[in-house]
A and B are shown apart, each in its own frame.
Chain A
Amino acid sequence: MKKKIDITAVPELSTSVGMHGSIKQKEVGGPLCLGIFVAIVIAL
């Protein structure tokens, strides 16, 4: 029988990197279609 490890028990990296486009940049509205996004924020 194959040895399987519970994936939740496998260590994760300290540097967590979300999927492409997963960060919803606040104020901008998040990454747009086809990877285009405007890296601007309207500051207070």
Chain B
Amino acid sequence: MIAGAALAAWLADRDAQKRSHAAVEACARHWGRQPMMTEIERQLSELRVRDAAGVLQIARDFMAKEDEIALLMEDMIALSAKDPFFRPPFHPISSEIHTGLLLYHNADLSIALGVSGVDMLAGKKAGPRGATSIGFSGITTLFRYLKAGDATVSFWEAPPIGDHFIAAQAGKCRLVERRRIEDGEEILIDGRYQSFIVEHAASDMLYFQAMVRPGAAPLAAEYDSKTLSFIGASSTDEVSSRVQMMVSMLRTMEREDALPLIEESLASPHFYTRWHIMREFLAMDADAALPSLRRLAARDPHPEVRAAAQRTLEMFFEDEAEAEFPAGDVKCRA
């Protein structure tokens, strides 16, 4: 943060602000035209099959352009030295233990360059600590450590997260191995069942991180680091989460004219989204929702959705439930 007289002077000087903004825009234009950036766009647009393997190779190609990326960093350092109010034209990403820049982002691939400072790591480790967890992102992630910081890393695995994930069957995660990583090492993590933990580092860790979304699991899972048991899940799909929120909002606003859209959104590939929408649908217009509820009860691919739908039929549509599932049928209860 730049405070004090320099900030006051910059805020009072419109021309200085314009110069700062112009430098950011010029930097963005310049680097947006460089082969490093145009090549990745071209490769992704020409990809015939948008699968994890293809996108992963494109990420590797980008990360191999170390010289060009070094030039980019040098340029931004020089511009920052020239004008303290210059901001790199890349989205900043940071947490308590790392800071970085998002160099590339689209729906299939995000590539960041970041550093985990040894002081940040030590501060975190030495500070007050509550329960800790091991996260399985559900997404294929490629790390390339330009500087590995002489770090010791432990690798973990859990039962694979599939489309029909059931919390009660999530089991436990387990330690696979613990070892030091080297400068230049590449670590590929299939977040559907793999994760890793940095246990110790002697110096700063500088690394690329590429998140490859095709083929991602529907959710990320989290395991307790002491008991190694499953403790929670969250969606990996931002779009479906937004749809869920919008459907809830439409129900709250009593927008019954949106019912056709809500019914359409029941086609979500994610089981948790389908049931979230069905609950909202029932709260808006139970009669209109009934045909879809019957369909979920009979044919939804996820057993918990089928069971919840069958139970809902029993609870609120007694006659329907009897017709759909005559006495004597075995029902799976949620």
Contacts and interface: CB of A to CB of B under 8 A. Distances in A.
Contact of A19 (B93, B235, B288): B235
A19 B94 contact: no
Interface bin, chain B: 35 or more
B137 interface: yes
Contact of B197 (A4, A14, A43): A43
Interface in B104-149: 105, 110, 112, 114, 116, 121, 124-125, 129-137, 141
B222 interface: yes
Contacts of B195: 39
Interface stretch (B14-22, B54-62, B95-103): B95-103
Interface bin, chain A: 35 or more
Interface string B206-241: 000101000000111010010000001111111011
Contacts of B165: 15
Nearest to A10: B279
A3 B287 CA distance: 6
Interface stretch (B32-40, B66-74, B305-313, B322-330): B305-313
Majority DSSP secondary structure for residues of A touching B: loop
B282 A5 contact: yes
A41 to B, nearest CB: 5
Interface of B: 91-98, 102, 105, 110, 112, 114, 116, 121, 124-125, 129-137, 141, 154, 165-168, 189, 191, 195-199, 209, 211, 218-220, 222, 225, 232-238, 240-241, 244-245, 251, 256, 270-272, 275, 278-280, 282-288, 304-305, 308, 311-312, 315-316, 334
29 contacts: A3-B286, A4-B286, A5-B282, A7-B280, A13-B308, A14-B166, A17-B218, A17-B235, A20-B238, A20-B240, A21-B234, A25-B135, A27-B129, A27-B132, A28-B95, A30-B95, A32-B93, A34-B105, A36-B93, A38-B116, A38-B209, A39-B135, A39-B141, A40-B116, A40-B197, A41-B198, A42-B97, A42-B121, A44-B225
